[in-house]
Amino acid sequence: MSEPLDFSHDQVRAGDLNIHVVSLVGNGPRIVLLHGIGMDWRVWQAISRRLRRSFSPMMIDLRGHGESDKPSHGYTLGHYASNVEEILDRLGIYGVILAGSSLGGMVSAVVEAPRDVVTHRVLIDPPLTGGPIRDEATFRDILRLKHQPIERLIEYLRVDNPGAGNHLLRAMSEMWRATSDGVIEDMLARPRDYYDIDSSLRSIDSPTLLMRADASKGGILSAEQADRALRLLSAGTVVEIEGSGHAIHATKPAEFVSLTEQFAMTQ
């Protein structure tokens, strides 16, 4: 993944951790982008160039990921969200669109911030299971394989990402290998209630967009789960992107940018 020269990198103190924050100068309000489990800020690198025409992108490596600090444990949704809250406060950022993919979408929902700080939230195919984690066996396999030769993890990830090329699969594998084991271990320690965020969904007062990927392409947010979330949200909207894989921003970038731009204009 090549990187243009106009990305700026900072380590921002959040509690007792240094969190890696990457910014790109753009036009418009700040959009804060949170990646999924096992990934890092680079999953947003390409789409951020498109987003910069309407937003000022800021990408965060969640604790335990990328170039952020990696404590051995402390990876609940609350831990992730508190870091994001502290970063927004420390940097004095207001009027943010908070967007997260998969795990990042769950964190985006759990972040506690007044409407003047987080004006809109975009949850990209989040696992709104009501509590249980998905694919427990898969995460146990990844936890084991990330310590073996990288080719084994590449071939394992290829099964669930049939359209991905070797370059992408290697990049994903490298990101998984750089992720703290505690990220997976803490999730597996609470397999039945790790994603229980009903109280957070009820308390969100900013408009929230749920993006559903195509189930036939690997989408994980079901129509039933999305409808349930809409009943909990005070101002929720759901949209399904036909033909999109789980990482909507990567598989349908034009649609993702257009929908985000339109949504950010709502009150």
Q: Is residue 2's pLDDT more than 60?
A: no
Q: Is residue 159's pLDDT more than 90?
A: no
Span 235-265, pLDDT tens digits: 999 999 999 999 999 999 999 999 999 999 9
pTM (predicted TM-score): 0.96
- In the chain, the percentage of residues whose pLDDT exceeds 70 is 98
Q: Which pLDDT score, from 0 to 100, does residue 165 have?
A: 83
Residue 4's pLDDT band, with cuts at 50, 70 and 90, is low
Q: Is residue 26's pLDDT more than 80?
A: yes
Residue 14's pLDDT band, with cuts at 50, 70 and 90, is very high
Q: How much is the mean pLDDT over the chain?
A: 95
- In the chain, the percentage of residues whose pLDDT exceeds 90 is 91
Query: Phi-psi bin for 143: left (phi > 0), alpha (psi -120 to 50), beta?
Result: alpha
The mean pLDDT of 148-155, rounded to a whole number, is 96
Span 28-83, pLDDT tens digits: 999 999 999 999 999 999 999 999 999 999 999 999 999 999 999 999 999 999 99
Residue 3's pLDDT band, with cuts at 50, 70 and 90, is low
Domains along the sequence of the chain with CATH = 7-131+195-264 (3.40.50.1820)
